[in-house]
Amino acid sequence: QVQLQQWGAGLLKPSETLSLTCEVYGGSVSDSYWGWIRQPPGKGLQWIGEINHSGARHYNPSLKSRLTMSVDTSKNQFSLNLSSVTAADTAVYYCARVFGSAVLRLDLWGQGTLVTVSS
Amino acid sequence: EIVMTQSPATLSASLGDRATLSCRASESISSNLAWYQQKAGQAPRLLIYGASTRATGIPARFSGGGSGTEFTLTISSLQSEDVAVYYCQQFNDWPPDYTFGQGTKLEIK
């Protein structure tokens, strides 16, 4: 049974870089695309982007200039970096598996990490 | 960007009622739509993909329909454990920018 476990710093100051990592248990990071989604407190879900093991990346255009995603196949992990954070980046961040070929869905989710940006 | 619009924002229904949630896409997305359920303090859970296919372990009272720009999620007989926020998400955009609807909060009346 494939599971995702995520971690990263929960409190950042404005202008710092948000860094989160998600590890794949019971499966291989080489099998799928992997996505990141965030949810500001009390609000809805926002698609951040996705990456696969060969480095193909697709980013939300509104975040693209600050966003970097990577995959480490040796550790079965994938990561998210978001630079120059502001209070508007405060959210719960989720990692997820983008499953399927013709019919896509986010079928597995990490537990979520609350990231707060505050001076 | 494909904009996903859900209605109503909040739905109040009684136990045992049939509840219908709607999702509209700003352009045709064929059947490239998923529905998720998010309970308070939890990560979202996949309910429906491909507009109408139930995910593994999802009760049969949940069903999805529609194609093109208009979609529905129906709960045939509302249970107390169905209280949650429901989101739709499209997977039709290229390059991928898989936008979500703003959510429908389902309450028990």
B64, B51 in Cβ contact below 8 A?
yes
Q: In Å, how far from its chain's centre is CA B13?
A: 16
Whether omega before A14 lies within 30 degrees of 0, making that bond cis, reads no
What residues of chain B lie within 8 A of the CB of A35, using their CB?
Answer: 98
CA distance B16 to chain A (A): 27
How much is the average pLDDT of B6-15? 97
Q: Given an 8 Å threshold on Cβ–Cβ distance, is A103 in contact with B98?
A: no
Q: Of A4, A1, A97, A91, which is closest to residue A41 (Cα–Cα)?
A: A91
The answer to whether the CB atoms of B50 and A112 lie below 8 A apart is no
| Amino acid at position B87, single letter | Y
Nearest to B98 by CA among A30, A58, A89: A58
Residue A95: is its pLDDT beyond 90? yes
Q: Which chain A residue lies closest to B29 (C-alpha atoms)?
A: A103
Kindly list the residues from chain B whose CB atom is less than 8 angstroms away from the CB atom of residue A105.
34, 46, 49-50, 55, 91
Question: What's the CA gap between A97 and A2, in Å, rounded?
Answer: 10
Q: Which residues of B touch A100 (CB under 8 A)?
A: 49
Over residues A8-37, the pLDDT tens digits come to: 999 999 999 999 999 999 999 999 999 999
CA nearest to A10, candidates A67, A85, A106, A72: A85
Q: Can you tell me the distance from the alpha carbon of B96 to that of A105, in angstroms, rounded to the nearest whole number?
A: 12
- pLDDT value at B70 more than 90: yes
Residue A101 has pLDDT above 90, yes or no: no
Q: Among partner residues A45, A107, A111, which is closest to B87 by beta-carbon distance? A: A45
Residue B93: is its pLDDT beyond 90? no
Q: Which pairs count as long-range contacts for B54-58, CB under 8 Å and 24+ apart, including other chains?
A: B55/A105, B55/A107
**Distances A74 to A5, A53, A93, A118 between C-alpha atoms, Å:** 16, 11, 24, 34
- At residue B69, the pLDDT reads 98
Option in B49, B53, B95 nearest A58 (CB)? B95
Give contacts of A104 with chain B, Cβ < 8 Å: 32, 34, 49, 91, 98
pLDDT of residue A87: 98
Q: What is the DSSP letter of B42?
A: S
Phi and psi dihedrals of B89, rounded to 5? Answer: -145, 135
Contact predicate A77/A60, CB 8 Å: no
Residues B64, B43: contact at Cβ < 8 Å?
no
pLDDT band at B30 (very low <50, low <70, confident <90, very high): very high
Please state the φ and ψ torsions of residue B105, each to the nearest 5 degrees. Answer: -90, 120
